[in-house]
Amino acid sequence: MSALLRTSAVRPMWLGLALIIWGTLATAAWADPPALVARMDQFDGTATLLPSGSTDWSYANINRPLSNGDQIWIGAASRAELVAGSTAMRLGANTSLTLLELSDAATQLKLTQGTFEVRVREPMRGRSFEIDTPNLAFDLQTPGDYRVDVNAGQDTTTVIVRVGQGMAYGAGGTSYPIGGRQLVQFSGNGLTPDAAEFDPPLDGFDRWVALLNRRENDSISAHYVGIEMTGYQGLDQYGRWETNPTYGSVWVPTVVAPGWAPYHDGHWAWIAPWGWTWIDDEPWGFAPFHYGRWAYVGSSWVWVPGPVIARPIYAPALVAFIGGGGAGGMHWGVSLSIGAPGIAWFALAPGEIYRPVYAASPTYINAINRTVIVNQNVIIIHNTAVINNIQRTVYVNQTVPGAVTAVPAAAFVRGRPVQEAAVPFHVDPARAAPVLFSPPIAPVEYSVVGRQIAPPPPHAAFARTVVATRNPPLPPALHDTLAQRLAAHNGTAPGAGQTLIAQHREQPDRFAPARQVTVIPVQRRSDAVRPIVRQPMPEPDQPTLTRPQGEMQPRAAQAEPGETRSMPVPHPPGVKMPAHQALGAPLPRLPEPQRGERPFSPPPQHTLEPPRQPFAQPERRPQQVHPAPFEQPHPEPFPLLQRPVHPSVPARRLVNPQKKKPEHEKAETNRSLGG
């Protein structure tokens, strides 16, 4: 049974609402949203999330965009990796992390307990990266590999710099430089070191991190999209790159069910400030749904990333929703054969612009479409796309068989899996239906937290106050102007429930932020204590691994303006060193990992290699075809992470037998988890 599209005769669901919203946004002051988000790339064990603007914890989804205000908990005997552009963040067991700020200009993280490692690959160029703990604020000053361990029971923070240079700040604005190949442990917040060590040994967590670094270094997809596109790491295992005469380099998914179409396997969620956001179920389903466009070539879908740009801008979903127009006013939604109002959408094709419904400047709109519209200006005039004075009224993918997906409006708002809620939908190919770029419906609580509610972590895991050098911005979810406008104009879906904005008004204390940050005055690099060179050491940016034939050699990290690339000692000059740290005296033994952090059994030994600089991208991407399946450039296979153990949505497709994990990889993963 199918549903017919009747845009001129459908009863108005939200009469005139979309025009009101667009008019309001046009007059509002432009405040562009962050161009950068994070993605949970993979995890073993249990990972839970408290989305900003919600009070309920949910089980983590690998493709949910993470942004300001989100809190992440990694349970016992678990570990996870987050990626944000070219930066990779790894979390060990019993780790609590809050994203205080995540943008192109600044990253500020709150770490109250556990193990955290970050690999920064791009030069800072005026950007800041700060890790705030109960004992100190640690400022990363150069690309490199950094690790921070917070022991809540002993009130200590241990900083390990494998490669790079950073500055720790404590109470009263005191500072402490930490250079490459150094470990320093602090207690309290007076920034007095308890222990220090050169060349600390690697443990199981470090070896796991080294394997992830090697996977990033060997990525084929990075050559086609650049390392600043969040989520590119998942493309190599699940598809192949080809050269198309029309679109250039395209990526073809190889592990999909027959009849698959983009934006069909997943669900919708509300994430401020962008609004309705697509969360895909595929393990590779991040980059192809937030960057680039989809094209139907022959009898299959291909993803067109467009030209490589330095910093691609994240979009919540690059789709068009069917509706709008009609005589006598604005009609929104489609009529479904089941008798309920519905929402229908399809993927945008190359050359078709994306017009944000959230507040954005003309510069932002041009930049977010730069990967598919080159050397053209995009102008928005009363919700009509005009590209070089050519008005676009026909969308290519709208008439592709199976491209349009429709669900009841209540299922859309409540975040139900699309595969379960989808209703067959027919589009008249002889008639191009009008479209908009976001349904004007306010979110409910399920829109934010999802349907897989999880138990909260121990209260003490996030309760501690941290030291910071600046106040983080208020998360957008706590002043969501778009959701407020939609709720004010009665933008509700029948049967979806009470809007989230109404709940915020009725229970303001429940949603009040509790960031628990103590800001200290600091003096930055020019006034900091200058490090003293203790002994000659090799430049940490030099490679230590033998690289496969033909692989690019990384460039040495460039010093920031006014920066001295010298190696600090583990104790600041002018301060008396404790007796147990005198030269030649044995250092105190550092505490064992927290309970639940099982030591990972060592995989094959590899020297931890320095961060690789971005690929030297030519003006044109390589035009040769990479046949599938890919062979790993390194002779040893990477151990694939096991499936998460927490409840998840049951799989709805058969597993490709060719992608079955080899037995030796299963054994390697079990050994790395200590099993």
pLDDT tens-digit map of 442-481: 899 889 988 889 999 999 999 999 999 999 999 999 889 9
Q: Are 426 and 399 in contact (CB under 8 A)?
A: no
Which sequence spans correspond to the domains of the chain?
3-32+219-448
DSSP code of residue 499: B
Q: Structure tokens of 491?
A: 């933008």
pLDDT per residue over 55-100, tens digit each?
899 999 999 999 999 999 999 999 999 999 999 999 999 999 999 9
Q: Are 305 and 371 in contact (CB under 8 A)?
A: yes
Tell whether the torsion through CA atoms of 259, 250, 289 and 48 is positive or negative.
positive
636 versus 342: which is more confidently predicted? 342
Query: Could you tell me the pLDDT band of residue 632, with boundaries at 50, 70 and 90?
Result: very low
Model confidence at 224: pLDDT above 50: yes
For residue 391, what pLDDT is reported? 47
pTM: 0.75
Model confidence at 199: pLDDT above 70: yes
Q: Are 599 and 204 in contact (CB under 8 A)?
A: yes
Mean of pLDDT values over 265-278:
96
For residue 511, what pLDDT is reported? 52
In angstroms, the CA 231 to CA 335 distance is: 36
Model confidence at 223: pLDDT above 90: yes
Print the SS3 string covering 32-46: CCCCCCEEEEEEECC
Stretch (H or E) spanning 288:
helix 287-290
200 versus 334: which is more confidently predicted? 200
SS3 460: helix
Task: Check whether the bond before 273 is cis (ω within 30° of 0).
Answer: yes
Q: Are 609 and 217 in contact (CB under 8 A)?
A: yes
Query: Could you tell me the pLDDT band of residue 428, with boundaries at 50, 70 and 90?
Result: low
pLDDT per residue over 149-191, tens digit each?
999 999 999 999 999 999 999 988 899 999 999 999 999 988 9
493 versus 634: which is more confidently predicted? 493
SS3 550: coil
In angstroms, the CA 502 to CA 92 distance is: 38
In angstroms, the CA 472 to CA 24 distance is: 28
To the nearest 5 percent, what fractions of the chain are helix, strand and coil? 15, 25, 60
In angstroms, the CA 290 to CA 305 distance is: 10
Beta-sheet pairing, 466-468 with 517-519? parallel
Mean of pLDDT values over 29-43:
89
Q: Are 351 and 372 in contact (CB under 8 A)?
A: yes
Q: Are 274 and 480 in contact (CB under 8 A)?
A: no
In angstroms, the CA 108 to CA 572 distance is: 25
Model confidence at 652: pLDDT above 70: no
Q: Are 412 and 268 in contact (CB under 8 A)?
A: yes
DSSP code of residue 218: T
In angstroms, the CA 515 to CA 95 distance is: 17
For the CA atoms of the chain, what is the radius of gyration?
26
User: Which residue intervals of 8-102 are DSSP H helices?
Assistant: 17-27
16 versus 380: which is more confidently predicted? 380
Which residues neighbour 173 within 8 Å (Cβ) at sequence distance 6 or greater?
Answer: 520, 521, 522, 523
> Of 152-161, 322-331, 631-640, which one has max mean pLDDT?
152-161
Cβ atoms within 10 Å, residue 81: 22
pLDDT per residue over 550-608, tens digit each?
333 333 334 444 443 333 334 444 444 333 333 333 444 444 444 333 333 333 333 33
Phi-psi group of 409: left, alpha or beta (phi > 0 → left; psi -120 to 50 → alpha; rest → beta): alpha
Beta-sheet pairing, 425-426 with 3-4? parallel
Task: Check whether the bond before 573 is cis (ω within 30° of 0).
Answer: no
SS3 148: strand
* Residues, the chain: 675
| Residue 111, CA distances (Å) to 157, 290, 448, 470 in order | 10, 28, 23, 15
| Residue 309, CA distances (Å) to 240, 247, 556, 624 in order | 21, 16, 22, 20
